[in-house]
């Protein structure tokens, strides 16, 4: 006779997106990855995960671009944690997708980290962020960042994460060209032109705060951008136009996020962001608004959702 799944309340947790405020590729690593320096930033755009008790690990998601099987990164996170903690119960993870897929916004990685954080609490494992870190690293280079959120420096593969004292605050406009770009393919293009170097100082100058105020953001660049546009040449024209709108309306920083295809502008004030969004929409682009989410705001959002388990629907 099959064993009934234990009855527990269901749990609904947010899974936030990120942008890369800056990204420097320093060289190739022996493990096939690239040595990076990046500045991560969580933003208010988020998916929602609803966890329910189940006998197996199951993912449900109606988005056609998201695998609804055990290759899904959230399922892999649950399976890895179950193995590590020697549990035999499962979980059903229903993903309400809002973060564009293949958009450089870290949706899959965020879903994986959210699953780890939620199940650690739900299964009463007490591992915490430090205990979850090795599992997160195995799942993907961006997953560790989402255990912390806020503004953080990412080194090594991007998986060595240092939350910053100085948290960036602002309003974002995200322009979404609506086509995925493969991260692996973009990094592969980088290889042909890479001169290894350790001396690019822009991100370090930003982090060490010898640049004052929001103008500091202007030194940041995403070194994946030209490789991403070679990989997806159809985006070149769009990106030029998107950038034009964002800069015209006063973006402090206008950049591709990760390996794309999402392009964002970061603004000091909501009015300028609103104008840029309206201009982009007027020109036929899909443009969303978001806010930066600081380290504290991220931690608060997590404690709110983990502190208030909801009763399972019958």
Active site residues: 18, 142
* CB distance 21 to 34 below 8 Å: no
- Around 244, how many Cα atoms within 13 Å sit in the side-chain half-sphere? 10
Shortest Å distance, C-beta 32 to ligand C5P: 7
Environment class of residue 82 by beta-carbon count within 10 Å: exposed (0-12), middle (13-18) or buried (19+)? middle
Number of Cβ within a 10 Å radius of residue 218 = 14
Q: Give whichever of 4 and 184 is closer to ligand C5P, judged by the CB atom.
A: 184
* CB distance 111 to 73 below 8 Å: yes
Q: Which stretch binds ligand C5P (CB under 6 A): 86-94, 135-143, 234-242, 293-301?
A: 135-143
Mask for 84-123, x = binds ligand C5P (CB under 6 A): ----------------------------------------
Shortest Å distance, C-beta 106 to ligand C5P: 9
Shortest Å distance, C-beta 245 to ligand C5P: 29
Q: Give whichever of 116 and 280 is closer to ligand C5P, judged by the CB atom.
A: 116
Measured distance CA(176)–CA(251) in Å, rounded? 17
Interaction between residue 33 and ligand C5P (CB under 6 A): yes
* Helices 107-122 + 295-307 axis angle, to 10: 50
Q: Give whichever of 191 and 210 is closer to ligand C5P, judged by the CB atom.
A: 191
How far from 283 is each of 38, 238, 286, 289, CA to CA, in Å? 31, 10, 9, 16
Q: Which stretch binds ligand C5P (CB under 6 A): 137-145, 164-172, 208-216, 277-285?
A: 137-145
Shortest Å distance, C-beta 173 to ligand C5P: 25
Measured distance CA(10)–CA(160) in Å, rounded? 32
How far from 281 is each of 19, 220, 249, 260, CA to CA, in Å? 21, 26, 14, 19
Interaction between residue 146 and ligand C5P (CB under 6 A): no
The alpha carbon of 103 is separated from its chain's Cα centroid by a whole number of angstroms, namely 10
Interaction between residue 144 and ligand C5P (CB under 6 A): no
Q: Give whichever of 26 and 290 is closer to ligand C5P, judged by the CB atom.
A: 26
Output DSSP code: residue 55. S
Residue spans of alpha helices (H) in the chain? 73-85, 107-122, 128-139, 145-148, 183-191, 202-207, 225-231, 235-248, 270-282, 295-307
- Look up residue 184 and give its two tokens: 């692996």
Measured distance CA(116)–CA(21) in Å, rounded? 25
The binder of ligand C5P chosen from 157, 164, 172, 246 (CB under 6 A)? 157
Shortest Å distance, C-beta 33 to ligand C5P: 4
Q: State phi, psi for 33 to the nearest 5 degrees.
A: -85, 180
Beta bridge partners of 171: 267, 291
Mask for 49-88, x = binds ligand C5P (CB under 6 A): ----------------------------------------
- Interacting positions 173-192 with ligand C5P (CB under 6 A): 183-184, 187
Q: How many residues at the interface with ligand C5P, by CB under 6 A?
A: 11
Q: Give whichever of 107 and 170 is closer to ligand C5P, judged by the CB atom.
A: 107
Q: Give whichever of 187 and 263 is closer to ligand C5P, judged by the CB atom.
A: 187
Q: Give whichever of 50 and 223 is closer to ligand C5P, judged by the CB atom.
A: 223
Binding site for ligand C5P (CB under 6 A): 33-34, 36, 140-142, 157-158, 183-184, 187
């Amino acid at each position: 006779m099959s064993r009934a799944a234990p009855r527990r309340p269901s749990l609904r947790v947010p899974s936030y997106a990120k942008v890369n405020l800056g990204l420097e590729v320093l060289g190739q690593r022996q493990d096939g990855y690239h040595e990076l320096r990046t500045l991560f930033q969580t933003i208010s755009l988020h998916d929602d995960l609803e966890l329910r008790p189940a006998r197996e690990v199951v993912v449900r998601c109606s988005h056609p671009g998201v695998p609804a099987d055990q290759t899904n990164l959230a399922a892999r996170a649950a399976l890895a944690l179950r193995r590590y903690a020697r549990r035999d119960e499962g979980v059903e993870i229903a993903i309400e997708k809002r973060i564009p897929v293949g958009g450089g916004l870290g949706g899959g990685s965020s879903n994986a980290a959210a699953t780890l954080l939620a199940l650690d609490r739900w299964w009463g494992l007490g591992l915490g962020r430090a205990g979850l870190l090795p599992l997160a690293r195995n799942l993907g280079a961006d997953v560790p960042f989402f255990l912390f959120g806020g503004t953080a420096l990412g080194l090594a593969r991007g998986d060595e994460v240092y939350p910053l004292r100085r948290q960036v605050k602002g309003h974002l406009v995200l322009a979404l060209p609506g086509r995925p770009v493969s991260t692996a393919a973009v990094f592969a293009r980088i290889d042909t032109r890479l001169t290894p170097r350790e001396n690019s100082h822009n991100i370090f100058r930003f982090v060490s705060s010898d640049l004052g105020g929001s103008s500091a953001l202007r030194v940041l660049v995403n070194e994946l951008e030209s490789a991403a546009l070679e990989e997806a040449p159809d985006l070149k024209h769009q990106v030029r136009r998107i950038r034009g709108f964002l800069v015209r309306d006063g973006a402090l920083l206008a950049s591709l996020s990760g390996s794309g295809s999402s392009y964002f502008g970061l603004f000091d004030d909501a009015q300028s962001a609103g104008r840029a969004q309206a201009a982009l929409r007027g020109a036929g682009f899909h443009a969303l608004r978001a806010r930066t989410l600081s380290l504290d705001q991220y931690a608060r959002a997590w404690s709110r959702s983990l502190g208030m388990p909801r009763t399972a629907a019958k």
